[in-house]
A and B are shown apart, each in its own frame.
Chain A
Amino acid sequence: MSAYRTSAALAASLAFAAPALAQTGTQGTASGGGDVNASTCGSGSTTGTSITVQGCADANAANGGTVDTSNTARANERMGMQRSTARAVDADERARARTQTQVRQGGVVRSRTMTMYHKRGEKPVHEVITNTSPKPSTKPH
């Protein structure tokens, strides 16, 4: 069956009038409507004085297989980074998703999600989503 679907939803990219805030994120799901699916999300923000990053990963195999997820997030005074991966594999299907987000203090926030679903005998389906926030304004409104 060639019915597959790789869906991806984009988190909102927000730029508030004041105070200066840059924030964005991406998320995606690799699924073919079969037994396995994998999804990841990630987002980051900076206010000019602080940095926050976060991510999530989820993997499911309904009819036997292997699932694994991994998340790391780091932030210091200058930059923040997060990486989320999810993978679900069974005998004839595999789904994979990865999200990475980078934040620079007082700079832009970049987030990127890649998904892949492959069913044996069919072409793999790839999807990439990239989201970049506007650079936060330093001028008072």
Chain B
Amino acid sequence: MILRTALTGTILALALSGAADGRGAKECAVTRILADGRVVRSVAPAGAAESVSVRSGNGAASASAHSRSRGSASASSSSSASSGGGRHASHATSSYTDEEGRRVTVTRDDNGCAIEIDERDS
């Protein structure tokens, strides 16, 4: 699990977990703890969202990535899956830039989760 962040300000802690649900899907879950003690389940501001998920097993692999943002913004995502010879692999990346110039990138593959938050351009 990798965590790189250039966040400043209200964020006191950022925890990242690569949980697997009961059906075998592995997702990235981000928890942000604000200065006033509130816990926010996403790094995304209002109007923005991202999610990544991968699943593999029984000779099959799948990956999905979604991103959304509002304002003067950009969003991008990518996913890949491969299978063959009894092996399989999947990879998903999702990112967005909000109108404050903060870039959030979340990546998930079969090995783990990574999130990169960069607001240096804001």
CA distance A76 to B86 in the complex (A): 10
Residue pair B75, A69 in contact (C-beta under 8 Å): yes
CA distance A76 to B64 in the complex (A): 15
Residue pair B84, A69 in contact (C-beta under 8 Å): no
Residue pair B66, A68 in contact (C-beta under 8 Å): yes
Residue pair B74, A54 in contact (C-beta under 8 Å): no
Tell me if B's interface is mostly helix, strand, loop or mixed: strand
Q: Which residues of A contact B76 (CB under 8 A)?
A: 56-59, 69
B60 interfacial by beta-carbon distance below 8 Å: yes
Decide: A54 near B78, CB < 8 A? Known: A68-B68, A71-B65. Answer: yes
Stretch at the interface among A7-15, A44-52, A108-116, A118-126: A44-52
0/1 interface trace, chain A 56-88, chain B, CB 8 Å (1 if under): 111111111111111111111100101010100
Residue pair B85, A50 in contact (C-beta under 8 Å): yes
Q: Which residues of B contact A58 (CB under 8 A)?
A: 74-76
Tell me if A's interface is mostly helix, strand, loop or mixed: strand
Residue pair A80, B65 in contact (C-beta under 8 Å): no
Q: Output the least CB separation between A16 and chain B (Å).
A: 17
Q: Give how many A residues have a beta carbon under 8 Å from the other chain's beta carbons.
A: 34
Q: Output the least CB separation between A67 and chain B (Å).
A: 4
Residue pair A47, B65 in contact (C-beta under 8 Å): no
Q: Which residues of B contact A30 (CB under 8 A)?
A: none
Q: Output the least CB separation between A20 and chain B (Å).
A: 13
CA distance A61 to B79 in the complex (A): 22
Q: Which residues of B contact A52 (CB under 8 A)?
A: 80-82
A53 interfacial by beta-carbon distance below 8 Å: yes
Residue of A nearest to B76 (CB): A58
Q: Output the least CB separation between A46 and chain B (Å).
A: 8
Residue pair A72, B67 in contact (C-beta under 8 Å): no
Residue pair A80, B81 in contact (C-beta under 8 Å): yes
Interface pairs A-B: 5 shortest CB-CB: A50-B84, A54-B80, A76-B60, A52-B82, A68-B68
